[in-house]
Amino acid sequence: MTPTTPASQPPTALARPECPEPPEPFTPLERRPRLLVFDVNETLSDMTHLGDRFVEVGVAPYLAAPWFAGLLRDGFALTVTGHNPSFADVARATLHTVLHGKANVDAASRHVMAGFLQLPLHDDVRDGIRALAALELRLVTLSNGSADVAEGLFERGGIRESFEGVFSVEDAPAWKPAASAYRYALGKCDVDADEAMLVAVHPWDVHGAKAAGLRAAWINRTGAPYPDTMYAADLVAPSLPHLAAQLETMPADV
């Protein structure tokens, strides 16, 4: 006989979780931040070139984008369950899923992963970083990827001297967008959250930084709409030089 719920005890409805408010209400941005914290993958590096690596192992190039999205998905899942995995380990595991039909999955995965070591900067990055550095802003990075990969990218692009620090969540408690990741970068720079601004192309990164109390700039190179379910960016720019031009109009923080 199928058990039934007594009429006097209706099933309890699950409460819908509320999106938390930022620690303090954000006023309109009126002054430049002291510190800019840059995301690296896709924000500074042009990852479209990884599609060539997929072609070279016999896979359609359009699979590169969903592979990277799946990589982030799995990294986020591990983060919210209390783990802080290596970016490279998660990347390889998700590649094995995408490339499972290849005769030598390990070799194909290594070939794609090696592409990270040869990625170029986006066309706007070199001039944009130099323009931002000329405003005497402190520049650092915070990547879910490897600091060594970021270092190589900046050396190849000729912008390494503009960054005072190249940080990775490998040394933080968790991946972005966990608040502890942003706090790690702030601690390394001895800057309060409201004095720092994240710069990223990913709305999830902007949202995470705002939830952690930072300001945020969204670099929208594609013209796509911003998700209205996430905390809005303080500044929106189509490129880094445009971001520098916006910040230049603001008085410097003291």
Give the predicted TM-score (pTM) of the model: 0.90
Tell me the mean pLDDT per 10 residues along the chain, length 254.
Answer: 47 53 72 97 96 94 95 96 95 93 86 96 98 97 97 97 97 96 98 97 98 97 96 97 98 78
Q: What pLDDT, on a 0 to 100 scale, did the predictor assign at position 101?
A: 79
Burial label for 249, CB within 10 Å (0-12, 13-18, 19+), is exposed
Looking at residue 6, what is its pLDDT?
47
| pLDDT the model gives residue 19 | 55
pLDDT at site 27:
85
pLDDT for residue 95:
95
Tens of pLDDT along 109-135? 999 999 999 999 999 999 999 999 999
pLDDT tens-digit map of 194-223: 999 999 999 999 999 999 999 999 999 999
Contact 51, 64 (CB under 8 A): yes
The pLDDT, as a whole number, for residue 22 is: 56
